[in-house]
């Protein structure tokens, strides 16, 4: 008896928490289908007009493409540098690599506003304010720890004797890294690249600090959309992102 | 030793304050099967790692055919190496693993293919060439690791506890195979193990290490029969230890007294009468008989039947507990706990030991 009360109490609690987490995300779906011209629930019927508006708006399209290509470049750069860092650490002594790892992880620990202020100060000096390169550089720095952490995890399973074996068989350090260490790191590199893309695609605080008018990413466009006019296009963009995320997650779960 | 292939001189390796290797000198003859034997922390793996070139010595030199190679990276030394965990490349097939040393040496494809076949043949693994390492059993993986380490015809093969991850029966089979392979190829093997059976069954020479120093070295038979220190006598096989007093000196050797029985002891150097000596006695050298037939008498404490052998612990008033190991078909008595028995041994069964502190070359 007590057992079942206990179970009902906690399973109700779990569902409530889940609902609390999901409902604010899901509420954008009906809003995106509204037939009104302001943000609100549908009044007389459902309408796809705001989806059409998104695809027909040059501003929205440009922002989307900017976010995608910057995200891809950031994923490539962060994966290259993050992997190199992780492999280097893997070869270092335990103490040196622990220190290096902590330093690299700081971007995750520092509040985004503080970090963005830092970017702003430096980017002014370097003349990178409001440039694509400036955004790519900032996002690469933010994404690096995610790549390194996932490559660290992949290399944790690599037997240290395997590179030793390669060396004893005649391979130089560089050949060893290419033939043995990188193949072992690949699963971590793929995960890291996905993370890096998401970090960049999703990032807003830094973009608000270091861009003015030249560079507009999708999150910045959504932000401005809320600030300037209460256009339900934002809801349709958000819905598409939610659906896209669900599809990608579903594919990943089903593949396992 | 006329022309050593490998010479180690005054090798020292320190980790912080610990001496992993303490002034080790060692020569390895061309074509020899040399085993470095010792408990964990004895420095045997450190020595092998220094020979391989993974961790440079703190001081001292490693020379290959007279040329100092202490500063050379592992890939320039050209020693094959076989590891405890096999260390096969998990993303490469068996064939690619074995071909790896040849490919990094940029050998022509026809030569690589022929040599890979040859090496897989050597370890009877041709049928598995296209498998991935994860699809093989431990014993099969170790064979592939062996084929890989031999494919580039190294002058010296280093083996770091290669059999310790395998089960007992497979280990025994592979010992025969390794020995046969060594005899067939004539390659110098340097083999690290903590397993005395492996050391005894395969080696031309065993080097026993303890606390980073060489305790004693020699061929298996000499080491087993004439251990110099209590450590060696106990680590290589089992020994009973006795502290005796020299009571008489005869033409043939010394005599010690236990209780009221005088026992002959073979001792090489002159020991004075009245001197205390530490003596090792192998359990299988002790005879067992019914009470009164042999010189010493005791009581059976415990019996352990091992199939081929039968181990008996006999309690003697002065010597304490003595371990006796007899072939089961020839125990001498039918032992059971509490039985009064007698026991004795031949003149050459006892070995007089030095103290452990004495440094042995």
- pLDDT band for position B326 (50/70/90)? very high
Structure confidence by residue, pLDDT tens digits, B215-239? 999 999 999 999 999 999 999 889 9
Residue B287 has pLDDT above 70, yes or no: yes
Regarding whether A30 and A151 lie in a shared domain, the answer is: no
Cα–Cα distances in angstroms (integers) from residue A145 to residues A24, A103, A109, in the given order: 29, 9, 10
Query: Does A101 lie in the same domain as A31?
Result: no
Does residue A229 sit within a domain?
Answer: no
Surface-to-core class of residue A158, CB atoms within 10 Å of its CB (0-12 exposed, 13-18 middle, 19+ buried): middle
Specify whether A37 is located in the same domain as A72: no
Q: Which residue of B has its CA nearest to A167?
A: B75
Residue B19 β-bridge partners: B14
Instruction: State the pLDDT at residue B3.
Output: 80
Nearest-neighbour CA in chain B from A227: distance (Å): 53
Contact B342, B292 (CB under 8 A): yes
User: Same structural domain for residues A89 and A208?
Assistant: yes
What was the ipTM of the complex prediction? 0.81
**Mean pLDDT in chain A?**
89
User: Which ranges in chain B belong to alpha helices (H)?
Assistant: 44-52, 74-77, 94-104, 109-122, 138-150, 168-185, 196-202, 220-225, 230-235
Q: What is the mean pLDDT of residues A33-40?
A: 82
CATH number where A132 lies: 1.10.3720.10
Confidence band, pLDDT 50/70/90 cuts, at residue A147: very high
My answer on whether A183 and A240 are in the same domain is: no
B contacts of A170 (beta carbons < 8 Å) = 75, 78, 101, 104-105, 152
Q: Are A170 and B78 inside 8 Å of each other by CB?
A: yes
Q: Over 90: is that where the pLDDT of A42 sits? A: no
Residue A38 in tokens: 């302001």
Residue B18: pLDDT band with limits 50, 70, 90: confident
Long-range contacts from B304-308, C-beta under 8 angstroms, 24+ separation: none
- pLDDT by residue (tens digit) across B205-221? 999 999 999 999 999 99
CB within 8 Å: B79 and A164: no
| Min Cα separation B88/chain A (Å) | 7
Closest CA to B36 of B76, B5, B8, B74: B8
Taking CA–CA distances from A160, the nearest residue in chain B reads B87
Q: Is the pLDDT of residue B267 over 70?
A: no
A71 and A163 part of one domain = yes
Confidence of residue B359 (pLDDT cuts 50, 70, 90): very low
Is residue B252 very low, low, confident or very high in pLDDT (cuts 50, 70, 90)? low
pLDDT digits (tens, 9 = 90+) for A220-249: 988 888 887 777 888 888 899 888 888 988
Relative to beta strand B276-281, strand B240-250 is antiparallel
Residue A8, in any domain of the structure: no
| B152:A170 CB<8 A | yes
> Does some domain include residue A149?
yes
Residues A182 and A68 in one domain: yes
pLDDT for the residue A40: 81
Confidence of residue B2 (pLDDT cuts 50, 70, 90): low
In terms of domains, do A197 and A250 share one?
Answer: no
List the domain range (segments joined by +) for residue A207: 59-216
User: Could you tell me if residue A15 is inside a domain?
Assistant: no
Report the pLDDT value the prediction gives residue A150, as an integer from 0 to 100: 93
Q: In what order do the strands lie in the sheet with B253-258?
A: B261-265, B253-258, B240-250, B276-281, B350-353
The confidence band for B360, taking pLDDT boundaries of 50, 70 and 90, is very low
Number of domains in chain A: 2
For residue B361, what pLDDT is reported? 38
- Based on the fold, state whether residues A135 and A243 are members of the same structural domain: no
* Closest CA–CA distance from residue A191 to any residue of chain B (Å): 19
User: Is A29's Cβ below 8 Å from some Cβ in B?
Assistant: no
Instruction: Decide if B89 and A171 are in contact by the 8 Å CB cutoff.
Output: no
Neighboring chain A residues of B101 at a CB cutoff of 8 Å = 169-170
Q: Which residue does chain A place closest to B152, by CA atoms?
A: A169
What band does B268 get if pLDDT is binned at 50, 70 and 90?
low
Nearest to residue B206, comparing CAs of B230, B226, B183, B184? B226
Burial class (CB in 10 A: 0-12, 13-18, 19+), B253: middle
Residue partners of A110: CB distance under 8 A and separation at least 6: none
Judgement on whether residues A139 and A90 belong to the same structural domain of the protein: yes
Find out whether B152 and B99 touch, Cβ atoms under 8 Å: no
- Give the confidence band of B358 by pLDDT, cuts at 50, 70, 90: very low
Please tell me which residue, B267 or B188, carries the higher pLDDT value: B188
Q: What is the pLDDT of residues B137-159, one digit of tens each?
A: 989 999 999 999 999 999 999 99
Q: Are residues A47 and A93 in the same domain?
A: no
A139, A35: one domain: no
Kindly state whether residue A180 falls inside one of the protein's structural domains: yes
Q: Is residue A4 part of a domain?
A: no
- Which of B104, B107, B153, B190 should one mutate to test binding to chain A, selecting the residue with the greatest count of A CBs within 10 A? B104
Q: How many Cα atoms within 13 Å fall on the side-chain side of residue B16?
A: 1
């Amino acid at each position: 008896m007590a057992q079942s009360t206990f179970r009902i109490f906690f399973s109700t609690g779990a569902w409530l928490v889940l609902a609390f987490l999901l409902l604010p995300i899901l509420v954008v779906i009906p809003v995106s289908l509204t037939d009104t011209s302001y943000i609100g629930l549908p009044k007389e019927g459902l309408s796809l007009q705001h989806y059409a508006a998104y695809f027909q708006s040059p501003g929205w399209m440009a922002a989307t493409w900017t976010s995608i290509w910057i995200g891809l470049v950031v994923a490539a750069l962060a994966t290259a540098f993050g992997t190199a860092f992780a492999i280097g650490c893997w070869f270092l002594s335990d103490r040196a690599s622990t220190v290096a790892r902590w330093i690299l992880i700081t971007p995750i620990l520092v509040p985004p506003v503080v970090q963005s202020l830092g970017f702003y100060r430096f980017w002014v000096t370097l003349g990178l304010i409001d440039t694509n390169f400036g955004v790519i550089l900032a996002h690469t720095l933010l994404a690096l720890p995610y790549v390194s952490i996932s490559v660290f995890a992949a290399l944790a399973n690599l037997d240290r004797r395997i590179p030793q074996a390669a060396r004893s068989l005649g391979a130089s350090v560089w050949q060893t890294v290419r033939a043995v260490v990188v193949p072992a790191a690949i699963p971590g590199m793929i995960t890291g690249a996905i993370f890096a893309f998401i970090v960049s695609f999703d990032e807003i605080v830094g973009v608000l600090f270091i861009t003015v008018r030249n560079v507009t990413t999708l999150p910045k466009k959504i932000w401005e959309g809320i600030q300037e006019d209460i256009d339900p296009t934002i809801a349709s963009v958000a819905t598409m992102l939610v659906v896209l995320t669900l599809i990608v997650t579903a594919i990943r779960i089903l593949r396992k | 030793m006329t022309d050593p292939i490998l010479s180690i001189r005054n090798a020292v390796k320190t980790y912080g304050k610990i001496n992993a290797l303490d002034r080790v000198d060692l020569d390895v003859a061309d074509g020899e099967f040399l085993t470095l034997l010792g408990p964990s922390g004895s420095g045997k793996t450190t020595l092998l790692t220094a020979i391989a070139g993974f961790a440079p010595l703190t001081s001292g030199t490693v020379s290959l055919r007279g040329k100092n190679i202490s500063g050379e990276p592992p890939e320039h030394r050209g020693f094959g190496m076989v590891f405890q965990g096999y260390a096969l490349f998990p993303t490469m097939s068996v064939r690619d693993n074995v071909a790896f040393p040849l490919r990094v040496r940029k050998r022509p494809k026809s030569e690589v293919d022929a040599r890979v076949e040859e090496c897989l043949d050597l370890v009877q693994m041709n049928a598995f060439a296209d498998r991935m390492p994860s699809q093989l059993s431990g014993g099969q993986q170790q064979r592939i690791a062996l084929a890989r380490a031999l494919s580039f015809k190294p002058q010296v093969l280093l083996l770091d506890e290669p059999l310790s991850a395998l089960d007992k029966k497979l280990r025994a089979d592979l010992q025969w195979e390794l020995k046969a392979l060594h005899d067939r190829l004539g390659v110098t093997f340097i083999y690290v193990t903590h397993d005395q059976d492996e050391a005894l069954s395969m080696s031309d020479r065993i080097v026993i290490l303890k606390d980073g120093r060489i305790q004693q070295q020699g061929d298996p038979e000499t080491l087993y029969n004439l251990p110099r220190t209590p450590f060696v006598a106990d680590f290589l096989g089992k020994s009973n230890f006795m502290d005796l007093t020299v009571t008489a000196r005869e033409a043939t050797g010394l005599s010690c007294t236990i209780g009221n029985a005088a026992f002959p002891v073979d001792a090489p150097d002159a020991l004075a009468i009245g001197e205390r000596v530490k003596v090792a006695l192998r359990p299988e050298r002790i005879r067992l008989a019914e009470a009164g037939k042999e010189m010493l008498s005791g009581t059976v404490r415990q019996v352990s039947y091992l199939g081929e052998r039968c181990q008996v612990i006999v309690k003697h008033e002065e010597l304490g507990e003595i371990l006796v190991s007899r072939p089961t078909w020839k125990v001498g008595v039918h032992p059971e706990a509490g039985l009064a028995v007698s026991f004795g041994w031949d003149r050459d069964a006892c070995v007089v030991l030095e103290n452990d502190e004495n440094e042995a070359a």
